[in-house]
C-alpha cells in the first residue's frame, strides 16, 4: 500500500520540481535583464553626461552674503576640482556639499546646483561671529552655536564683540571644533543682542563652572557682574533692573552679584 502511494505521489513531486526550476530560471533571467539594464544605463549616462566634453566645467559661481562671495578659485581648491578639466556630472552634489561643510568651518549651510551646460552654482550661508576667543586680537572667533572659526574667513568682524575668557584648552584650538562649556556665555551674548541691546558685554569669563563673570557697560557706565549659568533671560532682566535702580539712586557701586536667588548684591 505504501509503495502504491509513493508511486502516485511521484508524478506530483516531479511536476513541483519542474515548476520550481521554471520559476528559478525566470527569476535568474529577470535578474540578468535588470543587471544588464543597470549597466547599460550607467554606460549611457557616462557617454551622455559624465564623459561628455560638452559638460566640462567652465566656471564656478559662488554667492554669499559674507566672505565667501565670489571666492570661486578657493572653493574649487576646497572641492579638489579643476575648472576646464572636470565634468559637471562627474561628482555627486550631495558629496560636494558635505565636503564644503566639513572643510570650511564658517559655512552653516550650502546649496549646489548645475546650470547647463558648464556652470556649477554654489550658494553659501555663513556663520555669524558673535565673540572673540581668548583675546580680541585672536585669530579665532565663535558663532552662537559654539563653533570655532578662523577670523580671516569672516567678513565685517565687529571689533566691539565680547571676548570669551577663562578657557582651559589643553589640546589647543582647532578650526571647526565646538566648545560646549561656552554655551551659557553665548546664550547671554545673544540675549543681550536680541532682548537687552542697552547692555553692552565686553568680556565674559567661563572659568567658574557655576557662574559667568562679565564685564559690561550700561548707559555709559561700566560694571562687573557675577551671573549664575541658569535662567539667563531672568538673570539679565534682574541685572538690568538692578543697574537702573543703582543709577537712579546715585549708587556708585559697580560690582553686582546675582548668586542670591534672584536678589542682587552690590559691592
Q: Specify the CATH number for the domain of residue 142.
A: 3.40.50
Domain's final residue, options 91, 111, 126: 126
Query: Is 45 contained in some domain?
Result: no
Query: Is 27 contained in some domain?
Result: no
Q: Are 121 and 113 in contact (CB under 8 A)?
A: yes
Does position 180 have pLDDT exceeding 80, yes or no? yes
Query: Is 31 contained in some domain?
Result: no
Query: Is 93 contained in some domain?
Result: yes
Does position 237 have pLDDT exceeding 70, yes or no? yes
Question: CA geometry: angle at 185 spanning 162 and 205, to 5°?
Answer: 70
Mean pLDDT of the chain: 87
Query: Is 199 contained in some domain?
Result: yes
146, 252: one domain? yes
Q: Of the spans 9-13, 23-27, 68-72, which averages the highest pLDDT?
A: 68-72
> Which residue shows C-alpha cell 553626461?
49
216, 110: one domain? no
250, 197: one domain? yes
- Cα dihedral: 46, 50, 54, 60 (round 10): 170
Query: Is 223 contained in some domain?
Result: yes
Tell me the per-residue pLDDT of 209-220, one tens digit each, with 9 for 90 and over: 999 999 999 999
Total domains present in the chain: 2
102, 227: one domain? no
119, 139: one domain? no
- Cα dihedral: 146, 151, 153, 159 (round 10): 100
Name the residue range of residue 218's domain. 131-266
Q: Specify the CATH number for the domain of residue 75.
A: 3.10.20.310
> For the chain, what is the total number of helices (H) and then of strands (E)?
5, 12
Amino acid at each position: 500500500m505504501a509503495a502504491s502511494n509513493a508511486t502516485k505521489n511521484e508524478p506530483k513531486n516531479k511536476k513541483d520540481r519542474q515548476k520550481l526550476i521554471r520559476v528559478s530560471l525566470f527569476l535568474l533571467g529577470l535578474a540578468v535583464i535588470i543587471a544588464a539594464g543597470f549597466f547599460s544605463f550607467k554606460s549611457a549616462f557616462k557617454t551622455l553626461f559624465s564623459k561628455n566634453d560638452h559638460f566640462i566645467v567652465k566656471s564656478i559661481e559662488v554667492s554669499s552674503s559674507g566672505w565667501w562671495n565670489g571666492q570661486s578659485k578657493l572653493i574649487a581648491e576646497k572641492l579638489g576640482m579643476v575648472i576646464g578639466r572636470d565634468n559637471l556630472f562627474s561628482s555627486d552634489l550631495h558629496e560636494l556639499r558635505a565636503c564644503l561643510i566639513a572643510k570650511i568651518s564658517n559655512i552653516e549651510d550650502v546649496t549646489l546646483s548645475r546650470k547647463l551646460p558648464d556652470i556649477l552654482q554654489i550658494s553659501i550661508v555663513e556663520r555669524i561671529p558673535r565673540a572673540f576667543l581668548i583675546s580680541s586680537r585672536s585669530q579665532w572667533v565663535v558663532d552662537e552655536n559654539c563653533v570655532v572659526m578662523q577670523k580671516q574667513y569672516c567678513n565685517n568682524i565687529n571689533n566691539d564683540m565680547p571676548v570669551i575668557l577663562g578657557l582651559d584648552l589643553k589640546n589647543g584650538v582647532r578650526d571647526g571644533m565646538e566648545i560646549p562649556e561656552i554655551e551659557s556665555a553665548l546664550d547671554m551674548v545673544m540675549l543681550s543682542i536680541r532682548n537687552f541691546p542697552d547692555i553692552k558685554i565686553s568680556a565674559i569669563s567661563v572659568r567658574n563652572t557655576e557662574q559667568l563673570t562679565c564685564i559690561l557697560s550700561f548707559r555709559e557706565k561700566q560694571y562687573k557682574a557675577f551671573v549664575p549659568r541658569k535662567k539667563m533671560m531672568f538673570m539679565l532682566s534682574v541685572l538690568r533692573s538692578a543697574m537702573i535702580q543703582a543709577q537712579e539712586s546715585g549708587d556708585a557701586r559697580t560690582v553686582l552679584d546675582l548668586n542670591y536667588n534672584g536678589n542682587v548684591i552690590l559691592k
